[in-house]
Amino acid sequence: MPESPADAILKHHPDPFAQQRAAAEKYREEHGGVGTLPTYAEARELSVLVAAVRATYVCMLYSGFGYAALHVTAALRHTGRVDVVESDPHAAEFAEKLVQQESLQDRVRVHLGAHANVIGSLNGPFDTILLDDWAERYQPLFEDLVRLTRTGGCIIAQRLTEAPIPQTLGESESLLGAMIGDPRLFTSVPPPLSPVIGVRRR
C-alpha cells in the first residue's frame, strides 16, 4: 500500500510539538474528553495557511488545548501575535500552561469566555481568523468576524468537528452560507472536510 501524505509528513517532518500534543491528549482525557484537539496534519495545515497569507496577527476561536496555537505561532514572523478565544475552562487552562512553558506570553493571549462575549471585546483587525468548524454554531458571530478581519485578510474554517454540513449553500443558519452570500468576502466552495477560506475584499 502506498504511503499516505500524512504518513510521509510524520516520517520526514516530525511534529515539533509532539510531546505537547501527547500531554494535551492526556489532559483532555482526564477531563472528560471534550474539546477540539487537532491532529498533527491538521495543525500543520493551519500553520501553512497562516504562513501563506503572511499573517502577523491571528485570532483563533479555539485553542486546540494550546497545541494548535503553538503551530500557528511558530508559522508567524518573530513579531507575530495570536489571540486565542476558548470557551472551555479546561482547554483554556492547559493552553495557558503551554504558552507559559514555551515562553510565549508576549505573543499569545488566551481569552476564556463564551465566544459571543469575548469576540465583541476584541478590536483587531486580524490578518487571519481561524475557526474549527463552518456550520451553524459560528453563524451568529458572522458580523463580528467580518468586522475583525482587515481588508485583504481572511477567515479560515476547518472541519475539525462533527457538526452537520449544510445541505445547500444558501442556508442562512450556516456560516458557510453567510460567507458565500456576503459580497464583502470572496469565499471558496469546499468539498467535504476541506477548509473554507473567505478573503475580505472590502
Predicted confidence (pLDDT) per residue in 144-194, tens digit: 999 999 999 999 988 765 555 555 544 445 788 888 889 999 998 777 667
pLDDT tens per residue, range 75-85: 998 889 999 99
| Whole-number pLDDT of residue 192 | 67
In a domain, 99, yes or no: yes
In a domain, 177, yes or no: yes
In contact, 190 and 196? CB cutoff 8 Å: yes
CATH code, domain with 161: 3.40.50.150
Q: How many domains does the chain have?
A: 1
| Whole-number pLDDT of residue 162 | 53
In a domain, 4, yes or no: no
Taking CA atoms, 72 is separated from 75, 93, 183, 195, in Å, by 5, 18, 28, 16
In contact, 160 and 86? CB cutoff 8 Å: no
- Over residues 72-96, mean pLDDT: 93
In a domain, 26, yes or no: no
Report the mean per-residue pLDDT for the chain.
86
| Whole-number pLDDT of residue 77 | 80
Q: Which domain holds residue 71?
A: 47-200
Q: Is the dihedral of CA 88, 94, 97, 102 positive or negative?
A: negative
In a domain, 117, yes or no: yes
What is the CB neighbour count within 10 angstroms for residue 145? 26
Q: In whole angstroms, what is the distance from residue 156 CA to residue 151 CA?
A: 14
81 versus 196: the higher-pLDDT residue is: 81
Q: What is the band of 52 on the pLDDT scale with cuts at 50, 70, 90?
A: very high
69: amino acid identity, one letter = A
| Whole-number pLDDT of residue 135 | 59
Quick one: which of 185, 189, 65 has its CA closest to 129? 185
| Whole-number pLDDT of residue 2 | 65
- Over residues 24-28, mean pLDDT: 93
| Whole-number pLDDT of residue 171 | 46
In a domain, 31, yes or no: no
What is the CB neighbour count within 10 angstroms for residue 49? 19
| Whole-number pLDDT of residue 161 | 56
Q: In whole angstroms, what is the distance from residue 42 CA to residue 40 CA?
A: 5
In contact, 6 and 31? CB cutoff 8 Å: no
In a domain, 9, yes or no: no
Q: In whole angstroms, what is the distance from residue 45 CA to residue 24 CA?
A: 19
As beta bridge partners, residue 31 has none
Q: In whole angstroms, what is the distance from residue 40 CA to residue 99 CA?
A: 18
